Structure 1
Amino acid sequence: MNPTRRTVLIAATATAGAALAPSPLATAAPRAAAATPPHASYWYPDTLPAGAPGPGITWRSLKSWRAADDPDLDCNAASVPLAARFTPTPANATARSGQARIQALVSFGPTSGNPSQGSATADHYALTHWAYLDELVFWGGSAGEGLILAPNAPVVDAAHRHGVPVLGNVFLPPAAYGGQLQWTRDLVQRDAAGHYPLAAQLVAVAAAYGFDGWFLNAETGGGNTALGTAVLGFVQELRALAAARGQRVTWYDAMTVNGTVSWQGALNSQNQAFFRAADDMFVDFRWSAGTLASSGTKADGLGRSRYQLWAGVDVESNGSGTYVDWDAIVPAGKPHITSVGLYRPEWTRNHLPADQRAPEYFHAADDRFWTGRSLDPARPDASDPWRAPAVSVADRSTVTSVPFASVFNTGHGLRWYEEGAVTSDAPWNHLGLQDRLPSRRWVVRTAGKRPTVTFDFADAWRGGSSVLVAGEPDQPVVVDLYQTRLPIGVNTVVELTYRSESGEVNVESAVATAEPSTAGETPPYRYLAVNSVNAVKTVNGWQTVTVPLTGLSGTVHALGVRLTATEGPVRWRLGGLAVRADGTPPAPAAPSGARVTAANGGDLRLAWNPAPGTVRHHTLHRLLPDGTRRFLGATAQRAYFLSGLRPEQGEKAARFEVRAVGELYNASTPVTVTHPW
């Protein structure tokens, strides 16, 4: 990547905050070694730098990596398979399916010291607009830390839940930033049989860690035609091996076929061999309208889709204020030219001043970036110079099976809530706990005053956030929530959990059993009374109501709520939504075999055997001597790292409880493990 157009990641010396970082199941016997916090993995191809690594950095060779010897493998393996997704009728007349796609290159943290599974801060890039993404690259790497990055488990789990594949990153940096041509040669070395052993290693890592392939960014100059030929052979073999495991390979437009680094800003004779060898290609930022047009034509001539070309858009510095010649990529009223490659959209967090890093500020900037100035994908602002993804690209959904539930957990929060009560007042982030979230944020339909709709972190039913509707609506308001393909059975119900903080609101469930006839139209909702339903329970000020889908059949295509204010102003929260069979759902089976796998004073690694069946996540509590429970954390994995524990007065052993949480947020009985002090 052109070093004048982006910030190169340099070696970081500080780790993220004191995390209660979770980790997957430890398959070996309990280790005698001290418990250490798990971090995302990174490697050099083979040769390590001269000297010694900086504080907090571990130098590793990918060539010598073995899954059986990886001490943090289980802490870094994703738990959620890649979900299938579908494309509903677009929310507006300009968003299209089957044309341009969106890729994002995101740095979620430093190369070294990036927690495997969450940390104790809400100040985190909690990406939620997955519905517009087709590929996520876990960006990073530096000459002083490592060049090959495996995505951490929370990112992969959140992306997979929304149907988005995640690629690890291979970054061979320019010499000006410490790059060594030897590392390129190491990557493409061949064995006695003529194969590329590190290609097999990359595929093995992705398979073991549960992500979806690799982004190759070779920017170290000084090569020759022989090296270019070797790199091409490596890419060809990597793609063949990757395809056999359901993985993909994306090539970055930097190295040319003669082995030199020369960013083309186009698909042309200098890089088309690499494009043909890979699944996709990121086109460097120096493209023009003419080079993108010729690139699309060349891709067509090669028998490949022009939408397998990602036109790079550098948003690291200015985000949604970046000037882009959008008509060169996604022209209005004409077929799209190529796809879009967004470089560093985490600007939506990084540009915020220190005193405005609370989640609400981040989500406001992020919604502006992905949805556009109108903040409503059904009402795009044609005068907005920033052509947000929602304006050009149709959203997708993975909500296709019953039971389905969401508590609108964005994967970070200021506190942790269970049934409306605060069970931990510590801020946190863990993207692996993120729900499948509404894709169209926020479509609000009303003939009167439009209220604001946001994720809010001041109160929640479960997790860390809820949906807040606030304003003075003078006409009924419909809020679209989910586009779905949920089969309706004879006893299917919609369950809503909500509370009113001010005003009086009549609530109805909006259910559509068909698609709108054209893009941008309102789904053909039927409105089902909620307030008059008898099956209501109230806990900590939150009401839970079940609404039978009596008289409906077929498939639910869209879900929302209709709110009619009878007294205002209104502050109304939605804390949970579920579609399930009527009756009390069975609790999931309990995990088993809970154990301490490593210990060092008050730092512990716990692991357990998951129960069969679908488990959304696990919760951990400490059982105190007085019989009360203290919430410690939650994880989508099957193990957990705890730090800084201390004995309670008179306590000879700490007792921990692990519970499985099902799709409908019902918890299993606990499995208990003790640890003597």
Structure 2
Amino acid sequence: ESVQKLITLYFEQLTRGCGHENCTNYDCANGKSKRMEPSQAAAIALLLAAKGTSKLCKRSALPESQLKTDGSITNFWTKWSSLLQRSVCKNTVNTSLSAKHTSDQLTRYDSDGRPEACPFSNLDDALHWIPGRDDLCVPSIPLTASVKPARDPSSPKLLICHDMMGGYQKDRFVQGHSLFEDYYFYHWALIEGFIYFSHQFLSIPPPGWINAAHRNGKVALGTMITEWKDGATLCAELLSSKESVVQLAQQMVTMALYYHFDGWLVNIENHINSALMDNLFTFLSLLTTGMHNALPWSKVIWYDSVTVDGNLKWQNALNKMNQPFFELCDGIFLNYLWKVPLLYATATFAGHRRGDVYVGIDVFGRKCYGDGGYNTNKALAVIKQASLSAAVFAPGWVYETQPKTQFFHNQDKFWLLLEPYCPVGEPHALPMVSSFSRGCGEMMFVDGVLVHLGHWSNLSAQDLQPSFFSTMLRNDVKCGVHLESCSVDNSVAYYGGSSLRISGKLMTLKSNLPASLRLFRTEIDSTPLLVSYSVLKDDYHSSVSHFLQLQCTGNVLLLDPYDHCTGTYRRQSVGS
């Protein structure tokens, strides 16, 4: 209760204001700093309360009128209370946290003044990090109700683990960059979630990746990794006491809350003294529990590496040597040197949780089944036959090893080979909006108007992507139009940098039966439903009309484009 009172007290002080008229800024400086959300204020309040300090500088967050209806402190305390109560050393939570680095934790900029996302390279920086000073790196797209649990929790799923060139390449630039050439992922409908990976201690996904994943209804995870000699030293320091274990678990939960991502991959690839293993189990328990309390949909996944006795020995399967880690987390990411018999042994061992076993596939083909590359589908096929989930490691292989001028062609080739083995996602929340931008372009459009001529790249500007790829086109021999392709056109867009170009030919057969192009498979339970769409008028083929068809239980409304001659829409209601 005393901790809760302190948090409430400090939260109220944080949101009281600095005295400047209409000022709602953090660390005011006469209103020139960034706005702080209630959740950020609550996170800082928690840390200050645990430290027992009252040095708040001049901080403010929201007007009192908004604070009264926000209820953020109640929500924040609910999220954290279970974690605090479960802590082995709850009476000393963060008491050893010093005031180090509390004034200079600002957004990092490169030599050209561009804000950039960055990882945490050591334990000290992670333990002394304080939220609220890096707002430019906070994503703007929340993960909302568009995330829907699998109908069958044991059903196979697919993760991708983005390990490319050490991480934090051009994607680290928060506001994007002016080069069209880069790695892009847009087959979101085929995966469950995205893991950002680097070889730094704590990898926070850059905001562009988080925004793109969330807009497509997918979770984005960060990575904790320790490896080799330096990793063993870091692990020994971390696991040396219950206090440091609790502090780091809390910090990692707070990082996920502040930077709006959805969990962690934990990868310990170094030997651990067996006497410290209990603290490792405590850490995993606190991290998983804390993430679930803060974000119910979150995931903590263990990488198949160190065993229960502290030895670094990859199992390439789920067995008694790594089962305790699996039981403390939401899933396990198996090392990629497995053999087919191990898959079936793993499925049997996992039982009803077989869908939580993510079998690793290295796209670089380092001694893995199928040799990776464009044969990655062979590994995915046998994994699916064993009713296990999969994790595709380093899909950036397409960009790193193949001609960059043919990236989009090669990216489509790679994922079309995997598509038959991937469950298709089903967006089910409104509003649902897409201009089909991939987050890059040779020019920029807003509401159909060209506003910028020149290359650009920003994953935060990527739209909701289609659900279908190889099965997108549906032709019938009785149709009056034969569809030949649906491609991304970078020469024109309604919003962003690209649009869908549908190509085909008119048939000699006189028929009003339409050919269809499948875009999204959804599961939206909402009525009434308003749908609008834009089509670039083609004066040459004026006899070709476009309409949107919705298939559902009950009636379907077909809406033709706006007729500028009559000033009306042509509507037709038909059965499903």
Q: Are the aligned partners of 2:558 and 2:571 in contact in 1 as well (CA < 8 Å)?
A: no
| Partner residue in 2 for 1:135 | 193
Give distance in 2, aligned partners of 1:550 and 1:323.
43
Deviation at 1:225, TM superposition (A): 1.5
1:426 to 454, 466, 470: 454
User: What is the 5 A alignment of 1:81-160?
Assistant: 81-85=142-146, 99-107=155-163, 110-111=166-167, 114-141=172-199, 146-160=200-214
1:37 paired with 2:134, answer no
Give distance in 1, aligned partners of 2:565 and 2:423.
39
SS, match of residue 422 in structure 1: strand
User: What is the 5 A alignment of 1:462-501?
Assistant: 462-474=495-507, 476-484=514-522, 485=524, 487-489=526-528, 492-500=530-538
Give distance in 2, aligned partners of 1:531 and 1:250.
50
1:316 to 358, 364, 369: 364
SS, match of residue 405 in structure 1: coil
Give distance in 1, aligned partners of 2:526 and 2:571.
11
User: What is the 5 A alignment of 1:458-607?
Assistant: 458-474=491-507, 476-484=514-522, 485=524, 487-489=526-528, 492-500=530-538, 503-514=541-552, 528-530=559-561, 534=565, 547=569, 551=573
- Give per-residue Cα distances to partners, 1:33-64, cap 9 Å, x unaligned: 997422113113425xxxxxxxxxxxxx1111
| Partner residue in 2 for 1:350 | 400
SS, match of residue 78 in structure 1: coil
> Aligned AA for 1:365?
N
Q: Are the aligned partners of 2:483 and 2:502 in contact in 1 as well (CA < 8 Å)?
A: no
1:265 to 307, 316, 333: 316
Give distance in 1, aligned partners of 2:394 and 2:506.
37
Deviation at 1:512, TM superposition (A): 2.6
Q: Are the aligned partners of 1:316 and 1:346 in contact in 2 as well (CA < 8 Å)?
A: no
1:457 paired with 2:515, answer no
Structure ranking higher in helix proportion: 2
| Partner residue in 1 for 2:128 | 64
> Aligned AA for 1:37?
R
Deviation at 1:167, TM superposition (A): 0.7
Deviation at 1:217, TM superposition (A): 0.9
2:326 to 264, 275, 280: 275
Deviation at 1:477, TM superposition (A): 2.5
> Aligned AA for 1:101?
K
Give distance in 1, aligned partners of 2:149 and 2:122.
43
- Give per-residue Cα distances to partners, 1:205-260, cap 9 Å, x unaligned: 11111101110111123x33223333222112211111111132100001111111
SS, match of residue 451 in structure 1: strand
SS, match of residue 261 in structure 1: coil
Deviation at 1:469, TM superposition (A): 1.5
1:209 to 259, 277, 288: 259
Q: Are the aligned partners of 1:86 and 1:397 in contact in 2 as well (CA < 8 Å)?
A: no
> Aligned AA for 2:363?
V
| Partner residue in 2 for 1:415 | 443
User: What is the 5 A alignment of 1:214-293?
Assistant: 214-221=264-271, 223-246=272-295, 247-293=298-344
SS, match of residue 460 in structure 1: coil
> Aligned AA for 1:100?
P
Q: Which runs of 5+ in 1 are unaligned?
A: 1-24, 48-60, 91-95, 373-387, 517-523, 537-545, 558-677
Structure ranking higher in strand proportion: 1
Q: Are the aligned partners of 1:416 and 1:423 in contact in 2 as well (CA < 8 Å)?
A: yes
1:79 paired with 2:134, answer no
The change in CA–CA distance for 1:155 and 1:501 in structure 2 (over 3 A counts) is farther
Give distance in 2, aligned partners of 1:213 and 1:446.
42
| Partner residue in 2 for 1:604 | none
Deviation at 1:327, TM superposition (A): 4.6
| Partner residue in 2 for 1:196 | 246
Give distance in 1, aligned partners of 2:543 and 2:450.
26
Deviation at 1:394, TM superposition (A): 2.6
> Aligned AA for 2:408?
H
SS, match of residue 300 in structure 2: strand
| Partner residue in 1 for 2:414 | 369
> Aligned AA for 1:119?
H
The change in CA–CA distance for 1:28 and 1:547 in structure 2 (over 3 A counts) is farther
TM-score, length-normalised on structure 2?
Answer: 0.71
| Partner residue in 2 for 1:445 | 474
1:396 to 400, 415, 425: 425
Percent identity over the alignment is: 23
The change in CA–CA distance for 1:503 and 1:261 in structure 2 (over 3 A counts) is same
Q: Are the aligned partners of 1:122 and 1:429 in contact in 2 as well (CA < 8 Å)?
A: yes
State the structure with bigger RCO (CA 8 A, min sep 6), 1 or 2: 1
The change in CA–CA distance for 1:549 and 1:392 in structure 2 (over 3 A counts) is farther
Deviation at 1:123, TM superposition (A): 1.6
Give distance in 1, aligned partners of 2:128 and 2:499.
46
Deviation at 1:183, TM superposition (A): 1.2
SS, match of residue 234 in structure 1: helix
The change in CA–CA distance for 1:437 and 1:327 in structure 2 (over 3 A counts) is closer
Give distance in 2, aligned partners of 1:191 and 1:547.
67
TM-score, length-normalised on structure 1?
Answer: 0.61
Tell me the matched-pair count.
454
The change in CA–CA distance for 1:370 and 1:196 in structure 2 (over 3 A counts) is same
| Partner residue in 2 for 1:16 | none
Q: Are the aligned partners of 1:508 and 1:527 in contact in 2 as well (CA < 8 Å)?
A: no
Q: Are the aligned partners of 2:154 and 2:354 in contact in 1 as well (CA < 8 Å)?
A: no
Give distance in 1, aligned partners of 2:531 and 2:233.
62
